[in-house]
Structure 1
């Protein structure tokens, strides 16, 4: 299979909170919004996220546990400053990692971890793993 696009849709009772969070913190552009389902574009490569309210009684919703989105940015230090000034509390500190990035993480309203990072030179121990 050759996919033309890949995006994720989070089933949540927090569609409104998600819309506001991503618009405020990531300059998300809403491209579809019928109230219970939203589609938004984030970044220059038009990465997309969708959030949808449950449509069936008892439909499971996302609890965020174990789910992480990675956001590659040009200047992670600048994004750390900006996002913490907006009131986001890091759940992972801003630090350098030997596998070749500098990053930190915050949580969205659904408990999804958002890892924001910039690429750096990997240590010699990790260079062997890159293909």
Structure 2
């Protein structure tokens, strides 16, 4: 019987694929569930039984994939994420922000009303990845 590959990954668009340092893949899945309401579509453990080979999550309607780092495959260890910010455009920035902070995210750029018309801020998750949260400021 063929392996069911549904929900293995997105079927179109662009999806971030995060490398999680220090064998934190499963903890990252759990954090994203608490912080961003992630729905787990699929997980695949590595053959060593200790690391996560692949996870496919749905966050705010979009796909995010992640895996533990595998230094034996690319020679890198202790990957420090930088240079990318994952943006969440949401209905209520304060609700999403507060939920992420309670789950363990750290504010980097405070959530505030911005000149371009969004309530916007940036935070860092416990695995080093940067996220921004924004919502259109409601008038009235």
Which of the five TM-score ranges fits, normalised by the shorter chain? 0.7 to 0.9
Tell me the TM-score normalised to structure 2 length: 0.70
Q: 2:63 aligns with which of 48, 54, 57?
A: 48
2:115 aligned to which of 91, 98, 106: 98
RMSD value, Cα? 2.4
Partner of 1:4: 12
Q: Distance between the aligned counterparts of 1:110 and 1:88, measured in 2?
A: 9
CA distance in 1 between partners of 2:118 and 2:78 (Å): 32
> How much has 1:7 moved relative to structure 2?
0.6
Q: TM-score, length-normalised on structure 1?
A: 0.75
Gaps of 5+ in 1: 122-131
Q: Find 2:88's aligned residue among 65, 71, 74.
A: 71
Q: How does 1:1-131 map to 2 (within 5 A)?
A: 4-13=12-21, 14-35=24-45, 36=52, 37-43=54-60, 45=61, 47-53=62-68, 54=70, 56=73, 58-59=75-76, 62-120=79-137
Distance in 2 separating the partners of 1:67 and 1:98: 23
Q: How many residues end up aligned between the 2 structures?
A: 117
Q: Give, in whole Å, the separation in 2 of the partners of 1:51 and 1:79.
A: 21
1:126 aligns with: none
1:58 deviates by 1.1
Structure 2: give runs of 5+ residues left out of the alignment.
1-10, 46-51
| 1:62 to 1:48, Cα distance in 2 relative to 1, 3 A | farther
TM-superposed CA distance for 1:67, in Å, is 1.3
